[in-house]
A and B are shown apart, each in its own frame.
Chain A
Amino acid sequence: MIPAPFDYIAPSTVAEAVSALEEAGEDAKVLAGGQSLLPVLRMRMADPGVVVDLGGVTALRGVREEGGSLVIGSMTTHHDVMRDPLVHHHAKLLAQTARTVADPQVRHRGTFGGALVHADPAGDLAAPTLALDAEMVLAGPSGARVVRASEFFVDYFTTALDPAEVLVEVRFPMFTGWSAHYEKFNRVAQAWSVVGVAAAVRVEAGAIAEARVGLTNMGSTPVRALAVEQALLGRPATPEAIRHAARHATEGTSPVSDAGADIDYREHLAQVLTGRAVTAAAGV
């Protein structure tokens, strides 16, 4: 498993990374945790001339609270997201999701931002990021810009990033006090999701006051299950009511048939798993 030759650049700041990318143009790939890029290079599915490694850009790591937002640096590992007390407190759904990613080795190397930019529709972290209405902070040659998660995921393995841009951090509104659950359905422990459902709810007096639901692998991008969210609002937090609302889970989705599942089965799973995810999140 030997990749094609490439030039390796290891910047220590975001500015250096951006200028390296600008210089390399379309021929460059960014290396974050390497959990997707390295297999792809080794199998020669891609042969970039330049690899820009963000491993040394320490400013991209870490979680902080800032201006009423929870901010996760793009190079924060899944393991750190999973363990971070701020994440637990303000965006529990992300912690719940991160713990389902692959295995401990991958979670210690793979990064939150890397997974989002890789934009694999079967990747788990995009759905909660979308459901929690995150903002992505991008740095490029002409400065920084902010893109909402709903506009960030464009297509299979494709995001709104320009070739010379780097994802710096992801900002989340505070979901303090919400409860959450990520329901992942896969064939073996280290496999990608056949379907995944990210659900966060705020329950007030036995009823669902607010709900966020995101779907993994139900289209070429993560899908926010708005119809489910609507149907849940004000409903009693009971398994029956939730199951009823979960029937809307296929609205706005466009799943495909692949080796893991056919379309009809995926649609069925989305409904069943949405019911389970919300029920678990609501703790009923």
Chain B
Amino acid sequence: MTSTAEPELGRSRKRKEDARLVTGATRWTDNMALPGMMHLAVLRSPVAHARITSVDTSEARRMSGVRAVVTGTDIAADQGSLPCAWPITEDMRSPQAPPMAVDTVNFAGEAVAMVAARSAAEARDALDAIDVDYDDLPVVLDVESAAQPGSPLVHTELGTNRSATWTFDSAEAGTGGDVDRALADAEVRVERTFRQQRLIPAFMEPRSVLVDPTSEQITVYSATQVPHILRTMLAMSLGVDEHKIRVIAPDVGGGFGGKLQVTPEEVLTFLMARRLGCPVKWTETRSETMVSAHHGRDQVQRLALAARRDGTVTGLNVELLADMGAYLRLVTPGIPILGGLMFNSIYKFDSYRFTCTNVFTTKTPTDAYRGAGRPEATFAIERMMDELAAELDMDPLEVRRRNWIDRAEFPYTTVAGLTYDSGDYEAATGRAEELFGYRQLREEQARRRQRADTVQLGIGVSTFTEMCGLAPSRVLGSLSYGAGGWEHAQIRVLPTGKVELVTGVSPHGQGHVTAWSQLVADRIGVPFDDVEVLHGDTQISPRGMDTYGSRSLSVGGMAAVSATDRVIEKARRIAAHMLECSEDDLEFSAGRFGVRGTDRGTGISDVALAAFTAHDLPEGVEPNLDAEATFDPENFSFPHGTHLCAVEVDTDTGEVRIRSYVCVDDVGTVVNPLIVEGQVHGGLAQGIAQALFEEAVHDEDGTLTTATLADYLVPTAADLPEFTTDRTETRATSNQLGVKGVGEAGTIASTPAVVNAVVDAVRHFGVDDVRMPCSPQRVWRAIRGVRASSETAPEAGGGLGSMETGGFAGSEGDLR
């Protein structure tokens, strides 16, 4: 480029969408009101597993403002079964998943009735007047016992709680050796069982759906990550013609995978609106989010690692039990499989086997949550590498160096059969060590141990990679996924030279509008502010696969780039015609076509106007300056990074304080460093939250006891350290931009870094694991080798969470 303007690519622009998002000036789904709109409220089962013996709605029907009260029986014939798009094996057992329970409830929080009323308050009041009788069935809560023969069943018709077993064996696949042999011959074996606790996505904006059935085409507004998928799935599962449905995802406030779903409530709101013939809106309460929106993680991981005494790993065997919850939602069964190809991470293992059994329990269904399978895998292997280092009395970084793929070895096909296109683990690790002051901290750790300080220092390492940029369609096909992984974009240069970019990805807080504007502004040579990004409406953006799996830039961005290139190609033809020269004589730079060797030329906006007026276009050129493109990646992208965490553990109380956190990520080419930084910070917060704070806990009846944000501990800035972040930049070779995903990196890498640090701080007490979240009590018990007297069965104590059982309702309460 000859332009003197600062290039947009790589510029830390503030996000242009933020002013309206952070001031609330935007239109969230719940802000919308349509004429004649009814409000929907959903009654949920308080019990985890029961037969519904009767539902009495007579009183609710008579209440003020109530238009309709509908039970599962009322809509049994119309509601279909919620879709599961990922049958991981041919013999996978999948129960019917009605949006509203008809005769049996299978988790506490499942919908059992709904009320449409003139106001949200009237709808809510009427819920209290519905009388449901339940006949209790045995609850199934623990994934390990649920997988055993003889366990009570969640779905009796399936005859088992095991949904499917999926295996990958490097010996069978021809990608490596026999893991049993490696384990038998191992000089060192490390065996561990880790627990991936259940997490709740806890996005900021509650889910909300508004369905307008008043024209021939039904419009569905939803706070969803996946408007395109939702449209197709609504059509398929309800038998409605797809072209009669329009789905709009307005600005959406967070998702983290939690809104990658076709929800029961989307279907129920749709059915109610169609039934009443008027617009109907449902917006959930925070408590509804907690019990009924899908949860994440929840696996038991058994690992056995074989190694030589020099630290070289020769084999890894992984056996997973993955808790599906009560139903298979959109991609539930495939989540652990996404991790199945990542346990070998950045390492050159000789042999690998992965066996995952998916198991039903009477709990809220699980599904995608930031990282989806890959955080679980990364946690397990990074914990194992630290355990191996401890076993061999080697430095954990050294153990990794012995095993990782050297920078000269890319592209490298792993024991799991993936081909990593690029990476430089040496560079990222070297930089991280330097920023962290690794050696000095190790020295301080030794001094504190020697002095038997109350506060001990621990250092945790996590070198991660992930497969993201979901995904090559043919790979998804080979994994039995029900759709492709391509992405679509359209560029329209308007007659005045302004640019509209239509994208099929569906931002919900990531900053796509800014990043996409930067991408296109440079290439077309128009100012950043002259680009508008359109998305999230199946009528405006007709084709797309939406946003998840760190795919937007490496797949959707590439589609935008291809469409831009086509626009320029077309403009070149028109410009050549206008300038009466050959296309080959034109050079394009900073939005201007110039005739080589002359000062003659024309700008892109003049070309756009010429295309619009169409008075004099070259033969065969259609009168517009638009182009579209669909991009299907040939490979995943493989960002990587080295994260180092130092924690201080107060051995008197078990409290963990993060003293410093350094991460050096390699996400390839960066479009907007500020956005990347934000993604890393948010990701770190969520990953650290799993390590130290968050856990969805159920009592023995299957009731979620962490159903408010007073009990489910989402950390805030006050609970988190300052992050030191840096990047190395190794271009991806799998896409023209050289970009890799960043959305999940921080979450994937940070959890094991923190837990490794905690264990490292107290290893000299004989501790080799602390279960997540590493609460002060757990750490304290680990140090003392004391088992919990009772980890469950909480009694009434202080705080909001205790009020229901603590008799608040009967007490005096507040100020008198």
Binding site for B on A (CB under 8 A): 1-2, 4-5, 21, 29-32, 36-37, 39-40, 43-46, 54, 74-75, 103, 111, 113-114, 117-123, 155-159, 161-167, 185, 187-194, 216-217, 256-265, 268-269, 272-273
B598 within 8 A of A: no
Known: A256-B796, A257-B795, A258-B795. A268 touches B814 (CB 8 A): no
User: Does the CB pair A45–B815 fall under 8 Å?
Assistant: no
B719 within 8 A of A: yes
User: Does the CB pair B808–A157 fall under 8 Å?
Assistant: yes
User: Does the CB pair A257–B794 fall under 8 Å?
Assistant: yes
- The 8 Å CB contact of A191, one of B652, B713, B802, is B713
- The 8 Å CB contact of B815, one of A113, A121, A122, is A113
Closest CB in chain A relative to B285 CB, distance in Å: 5
Please list 14 pairs of residues, one from A and one from B, whose beta carbons are closer than 8 Å in the complex, sorted by A's number. Answer: A30-B813, A31-B815, A36-B813, A46-B808, A118-B813, A122-B802, A156-B806, A157-B803, A157-B812, A185-B655, A188-B715, A192-B798, A257-B797, A258-B797
Known: A45-B804, A122-B799, A157-B811. A259 touches B794 (CB 8 A): yes
B4 within 8 A of A: no
User: Does the CB pair B811–A158 fall under 8 Å?
Assistant: yes
Known: A191-B713, A259-B711. A46 touches B794 (CB 8 A): no
| B710-745 interface code vs A (CB 8 A; 1 in, 0 out) | 110111101100000000000000000000000000
User: Does the CB pair A29–B813 fall under 8 Å?
Assistant: yes
CB neighbours of A262 from chain B (8 A): 777, 788-791
CB closest chain-A residue, reference B775: A187
Q: How far is the CA of A131 from the CA of B783 in the complex (A)?
A: 33
User: Does the CB pair A265–B711 fall under 8 Å?
Assistant: no
User: Does the CB pair A156–B807 fall under 8 Å?
Assistant: yes
CB closest chain-B residue, reference A162: B816
CB neighbours of A43 from chain B (8 A): 287, 708
Known: A187-B775, A269-B653. A118 touches B815 (CB 8 A): yes
Binding site for A on B (CB under 8 A): 120-121, 124-125, 128, 285-287, 652-653, 655, 693, 697, 705-706, 708, 710-711, 713-716, 718-719, 775-777, 780-781, 786, 788-791, 793-804, 806-809, 811-816
User: Does the CB pair A30–B816 fall under 8 Å?
Assistant: yes
Q: How far is the CA of A221 from the CA of B409 in the complex (A)?
A: 66
What would 10 more interface pairs be, CB under 8 Å, given A114-B815, A122-B798?
Answer: A37-B814, A43-B287, A188-B716, A191-B710, A191-B713, A191-B799, A258-B795, A259-B797, A260-B797, A262-B790
Q: How far is the CA of A20 from the CA of B795 in the complex (A)?
A: 36
User: Does the CB pair A161–B120 fall under 8 Å?
Assistant: no
Q: Output the residue of B714, B777, B786, B812 with the most chain A CB within 10 A.
A: B812
User: Does the CB pair A256–B795 fall under 8 Å?
Assistant: yes
Q: How far is the CA of A131 from the CA of B680 in the complex (A)?
A: 46
User: Does the CB pair A259–B801 fall under 8 Å?
Assistant: yes
Q: How far is the CA of A1 from the CA of B803 in the complex (A)?
A: 17
Count A/B pairs, Cβ under 8 Å.
174
User: Does the CB pair B816–A122 fall under 8 Å?
Assistant: no
Closest CB in chain B relative to A206 CB, distance in Å: 24
Q: How far is the CA of A37 from the CA of B791 in the complex (A)?
A: 30
Known: A192-B798, A256-B795, A258-B795. A4 touches B125 (CB 8 A): yes
CB neighbours of A4 from chain B (8 A): 125, 128
CB closest chain-B residue, reference A122: B798
User: Does the CB pair B796–A163 fall under 8 Å?
Assistant: no
User: Does the CB pair A111–B815 fall under 8 Å?
Assistant: yes
CB closest chain-B residue, reference A261: B777
CB neighbours of B799 from chain A (8 A): 120, 122, 191-192, 258, 260
User: Does the CB pair A188–B128 fall under 8 Å?
Assistant: no
CB closest chain-A residue, reference B694: A188
Closest CB in chain A relative to B293 CB, distance in Å: 16
User: Does the CB pair A30–B814 fall under 8 Å?
Assistant: yes
Q: How far is the CA of A185 from the CA of B652 in the complex (A)?
A: 12
User: Does the CB pair A2–B120 fall under 8 Å?
Assistant: yes
CB neighbours of A113 from chain B (8 A): 815
User: Does the CB pair A158–B775 fall under 8 Å?
Assistant: no
CB closest chain-B residue, reference A34: B814
CB neighbours of A121 from chain B (8 A): 797-798
Closest CB in chain A relative to B200 CB, distance in Å: 15
User: Does the CB pair A5–B125 fall under 8 Å?
Assistant: yes
CB closest chain-A residue, reference B802: A258
Q: How far is the CA of A185 from the CA of B806 in the complex (A)?
A: 21
Closest CB in chain A relative to B773 CB, distance in Å: 9
CB closest chain-A residue, reference B813: A29
Known: A114-B814, A114-B815, A156-B811. A258 touches B693 (CB 8 A): no
User: Does the CB pair B121–A2 fall under 8 Å?
Assistant: yes
User: Does the CB pair B797–A122 fall under 8 Å?
Assistant: yes
Q: How far is the CA of A29 from the CA of B810 in the complex (A)?
A: 11
User: Does the CB pair B652–A272 fall under 8 Å?
Assistant: yes
Q: Output the residue of B708, B711, B794 with the most chain A CB within 10 A.
A: B794
Closest CB in chain B relative to A244 CB, distance in Å: 15
CB closest chain-A residue, reference B706: A259
CB closest chain-A residue, reference B773: A187
Closest CB in chain B relative to A35 CB, distance in Å: 10
Closest CB in chain B relative to A279 CB, distance in Å: 12
CB neighbours of B796 from chain A (8 A): 156, 256, 258
CB neighbours of B808 from chain A (8 A): 40, 45-46, 156-157
User: Does the CB pair A265–B815 fall under 8 Å?
Assistant: no
Q: Name the 8 nearest CB pairs between A and B, nearest first.
A: A122-B798, A258-B797, A32-B815, A189-B718, A192-B799, A157-B811, A121-B798, A114-B815
Known: A4-B125, A185-B653. A217 touches B798 (CB 8 A): yes
User: Does the CB pair A117–B812 fall under 8 Å?
Assistant: yes
CB neighbours of B789 from chain A (8 A): 257, 262-264
Closest CB in chain B relative to A241 CB, distance in Å: 18
Closest CB in chain A relative to B571 CB, distance in Å: 54
